[in-house]
Structure 1
């Protein structure tokens, strides 16, 4: 498996009463396919995986696998704080039809680098699915360092990394590890254009939930080396990046999804977007409509 381009870390829609909204979920998936998204992640941090019951997790993944029907890869978030449980969940999602597992560094427990190597190698050796490493220190409390990634990248079942550390030095160190069987993906929307222009294979995006066409265009331009056009398009997306950073993910993106008729909020302890940001949400929603229309018009031409 080689992942590349615009990949969406899917949000999970809920009904007004807080139940899983599978109709909205299927609409979200259909819009991703229509917009040109090149892979999706089910039940990652953007998908509020920690707030999902087991049956809900299964329903989301089954629905995604069924609707997508092999047209693009479906990744499932399986990273937990314990290695044995992560292996068990990875086996489970393989049986449900996932194409790969996105495995975040173990949250909260803060293992050493040697512990991270042992953790990922054990999951990879179990062989249930190809693994994509996921490093997001701000959420997990641990940092998967490039030297550690270099050791893990040699394993044939470890096929890439989603890196959310935004500093260019970190991305450059990881880009040196790119190989036929190992991809490097940006996990940070605001710096993804820079990363892809430098050689990153793609982006695992939050914003592409609401603007799949715009992020596909960004990925195509940047990965195609069209620097001036990519940077100009990235600048047009900048107000959306700024809005999505106003409160912790996925609060802002779910406000935008609600404006598109896809869901009604979050589960505690997360709460809906604060009232002072509602005007910013309206502006961001308008911008996204404009950019998505432009992408569709360009495609039609």
Structure 2
């Protein structure tokens, strides 16, 4: 879709932490500036990769405020405003709008929430009062709610609901969503080139913290329908994108990003730094990405 508001790469930014586990605000600015310098023109603040569920409401809202102030209109801003209570989602979303965000990403009701389609639609209808375009979040393996093609069609009738981020990791099911003709964003790292070929409208990509230039090269090649170029860039990324998806995702993204020069510290507890016995495999999967990103 030519008027889709979130095309291309939207970086699900790691939230930087200091040695005590507090958000490192100085490092946040350094990271954002480095990613902007690499060509990133879309950010997701308080993302899943950025440990949204382990940030307090106040921290998440401050992250939206400070991140937006740093970006200063130089890139699109999506803020995750997911919460258990719809009223809180609305509050967070209105705050994101006040900060200058362009959209919000919202999980369906989770933790023993409703699974009936009508109840999911009712939830998103209520949270649409936040005023910004909504990106639904399809991650059934974590939430227990699957956004199917029929549900997506119902959701897209809600004012402000514009797309779904599919992090199911199932290319067949994502292709079914895309075939509705409605905009769908890929959120599963190992599927990136295949999703783009299938017609995904955009990407929300946590693994892009590791190698933004190389990830952007894939997006640009796909935009030009240069599928050989997509394949060439993907050969450098595929080993690490496949590895991190197999488990310890957040820990692996933080560890790999540190190696390639985009250091956000260590994840916040209860997560810990990636175990030492997994670092050799991570280094091997990274190949020459650190050198590529330094150019």
- TM-score scaled by length of structure 1: 0.89
- The residue that corresponds to 1:10 in the other structure is 13
* Alignment gaps of 5+ in structure 1: 297-301
- The residue that corresponds to 1:206 in the other structure is 206
* CA deviation after TM superposition for structure 1 residue 116, in Å: 0.8
CA distance in 2, matches of 1:229, 1:78: 36
- TM-score scaled by length of structure 2: 0.91
3-state SS, counterpart of residue 75 of structure 1:
strand
Q: Would you say 1:27 and 2:30 are equivalent positions?
A: yes
- The residue that corresponds to 1:236 in the other structure is 236
- Structure 1 segment 46-57 matched on structure 2, within 5 A: 46-57=49-60
CA distance in 1, matches of 2:286, 2:29: 21
- The one of 159, 163, 171 aligned to 2:162: 159
- The residue that corresponds to 2:189 in the other structure is 189
Number of equivalent positions: 290
* Alignment gaps of 5+ in structure 2: none
* CA deviation after TM superposition for structure 1 residue 113, in Å: 1.5
CA deviation profile, 1:124-180 (whole Å, cap 9, x unmatched):
2x152111111111221221222101111133411211111232322222213345x
- The residue that corresponds to 2:272 in the other structure is 271
* CA deviation after TM superposition for structure 1 residue 246, in Å: 4.6
CA distance in 1, matches of 2:267, 2:130: 34
CA distance in 2, matches of 1:290, 1:189: 21
Calculate the aligned-residue CA RMSD, in Å: 1.9
3-state SS, counterpart of residue 250 of structure 1:
helix
CA distance in 2, matches of 1:237, 1:59: 33
CA distance in 1, matches of 2:178, 2:41: 21
Are the structure 2 counterparts of residues 272 and 20 from structure 1 closer, same or farther at C-alpha, using a change threshold of 3 Å?
same
CA distance in 1, matches of 2:195, 2:123: 27
Are the structure 2 counterparts of residues 135 and 261 from structure 1 closer, same or farther at C-alpha, using a change threshold of 3 Å?
closer
- The residue that corresponds to 2:41 in the other structure is 38
- The residue that corresponds to 1:134 in the other structure is 137
- Matched-pair contact (CA < 8 Å) for 1:252–1:273: yes
- The residue that corresponds to 1:118 in the other structure is 122
CA distance in 2, matches of 1:279, 1:25: 28
* CA deviation after TM superposition for structure 1 residue 74, in Å: 0.7
CA distance in 2, matches of 1:35, 1:261: 11
CA distance in 2, matches of 1:224, 1:257: 28
Q: Which moved more, 1:13-22 or 1:82-91?
A: 82-91
